Amino acid sequence: MKIERLETIVTCPGRNFVTVKITTDEGVYGLGDATLNGRELSVRSYLEDHIFPCLVGRDPRNLEDIWQYLYRGAYWRRGPVTMTAIAAIDMALWDILGKLAGMPVYRLLGGKSRDGVMVYGHANGRDHAEAIEAVQQHIEEGYKAIRVQSGVPGMDKVYGVGKAKGHYEPAQKGLPPEETWDTALYLRHTPELFRKVREAVGFDPHLLHDAHHRLTPIEAARLCKDLEPYRMFWVEDATPADNQESFRLIRQHSTTPLAVGEVFNSIWDCKDLIKEQLIDYIRSTIVHAGGITHLRRIADFAAMYQVRTGFHGATDLSPVTMAAAVNFGLWVPNFGVQELMPHSELTDEVFPHNYRYEDGYLVMDEVPGLGVDIDEVLAAKHPYERAYLPVARLRDGAMWNW
Ligand code: GCO
Ligand code: MG
């Protein structure tokens, strides 16, 4: 059996997605997500200009060899563009393998460890009252775990909170919008938010929060310490992890569980964090960290240190990644939680999929492969539109971490 055709499909049903489609000489095809928010076309070019020509004629069933060929063989290892491209190929090959075997990918990985994948939803509010209302709404919808983000008085715009009630989209059409960030205000208001949320809904729901890399290590330690009475499920991206040692400082001060890794693209980004037990959840995701083949290595390594998975799942990860994540989450023994930010109806129409939300969990049927498809005719009606994540500046105008 041979790989006959490789294509990318770029579509914007409200936001941009890049999808890889690999077809074999026997007509079986597989899909992989290659979306890298704000850098979509670089991944497409990496795939089309540098990877596709090398894969035609190879046996699609040798996905480990193809992974190693793309990783070791490229000489220039890692980086988000490369690892997203590798991930897309890897996902598509797992999809093909599942279809050939007539089994879901979770069966190929080792079968089901659980019936459903617990997800966390996004409760956002422009102020505390609106955020609490959103938390209550999520509880009514069955969510067991809820991420809470709120506007901060005195700041025009805060990460994770949209302009309108409810919805927020992590990319905007046109050039990157600029926002102003004020750490002191944020540190003052966030513990207050969680005090009110616990008061309103009690201690049953798991509560999560994303600090989105905005804090220095000692500020992060302060936040995590202040949040201790509210028994967080986790605080995410408390400080940037470029320097993995930073997390030791947070750990020394607080027992609030820590999650990190949505921007990581390989096991090397989290090696020390995991080995030194500086984190509790690893958020690296299938699309940005080399696919199922590489995430499996990360998860197994993490299991040795009782670190659990908590994969990224914002709307910039296409339904193809979500399908892969559900398959992975059904299998992986050290599963923690999966992020769920529901896609728009149009996105779901472009990518018909088998996984579905049921009472706080994502579940799927026994369908071959990843259980996701693409409607290419509909996709073609929504061409690429330039879009970016915002950037953040401090009050004095200096660039800060988005
Ligand atoms: C999350 C993330 C997103 C990212 C976005 C970047 O926790 O879901 O932080 O909001 O900012 O996915 O592309
Ligand atoms: Mg995040």
* Domains present along the chain, CATH in parentheses: 3-104 (3.30.390.10), 108-367 (3.20.20.120)
Indicate whether residue 170 lines ligand 1 (CB < 6 A). Answer: yes
DSSP character string of 300-314: HHHHTTT-EEEE---
For helices 291-303 and 80-101, angle between their N-to-C axes, nearest 10 degrees: 100
Q: Tell me the one-letter amino acid at 40.
A: E
The pLDDT of residue 342:
94
Q: How far apart are CA 103 and CA 208, in angstroms?
A: 34
Q: How far apart are CA 24 and CA 71, in angstroms?
A: 22
Contact 88, 94 (CB under 8 A): no
Query: pLDDT digit string (tens) for 172-208?
Result: 899 999 999 999 999 999 999 999 999 999 999 999 9
Residues contacting 202, CB < 8 A, separation 6+: none
Q: Which of 29, 159, 230, 361 is catalytic?
A: 159
Ligand 1 atom closest to Cα of residue 236: 7
The pLDDT of residue 172:
87
Indicate whether residue 367 lines ligand 1 (CB < 6 A). Answer: no
Q: How far apart are CA 106 and CA 288, in angstroms?
A: 20
Indicate whether residue 288 lines ligand 1 (CB < 6 A). Answer: no
Question: Tell me, what DSSP letter sits at residue 342?
Answer: P
Q: How far apart are CA 53 and CA 44, in angstroms?
A: 13
Q: Tell me the one-letter amino acid at 191.
A: P
Q: How far apart are CA 212 and CA 289, in angstroms?
A: 19
Q: Which of 212, 213, 343, 353 is catalytic?
A: 212
The pLDDT of residue 193:
98
Query: pLDDT digit string (tens) for 222-265?
Result: 999 999 999 999 999 999 999 999 999 999 999 999 999 999 99
Query: pLDDT digit string (tens) for 42-96?
Result: 999 999 999 999 999 999 999 999 999 999 999 999 999 999 999 999 999 999 9
Ligand 1 mutation target, pool 208, 312, 315, 341, most atoms within 8 A of CB: 312
Ligand 1 atom closest to Cα of residue 147: 7
Indicate whether residue 339 lines ligand 1 (CB < 6 A). Answer: yes
CA 168, 39, 24: angle at the middle one, nearest 5? 105
Q: In the annotation, is 122 catalytic?
A: no
Other C-beta atoms closer than 10 Å to the C-beta of 53 total 9
What is the maximum alpha-carbon separation in the chain? 61
The pLDDT of residue 168:
78
Ligand 1 atom closest to Cα of residue 314: 8
Indicate whether residue 40 lines ligand 1 (CB < 6 A). Answer: no
Q: What is the residue with the minimal CA distance to atom 10 of ligand 1?
A: 170
Residues contacting 215, CB < 8 A, separation 6+: 183, 187, 223, 238, 239
Please say if the pLDDT value at position 299 is more than 90: yes
Q: How far apart are CA 214 and CA 223, in angstroms?
A: 11
Indicate which ligand has the atom closest to the C-alpha of 237.
2
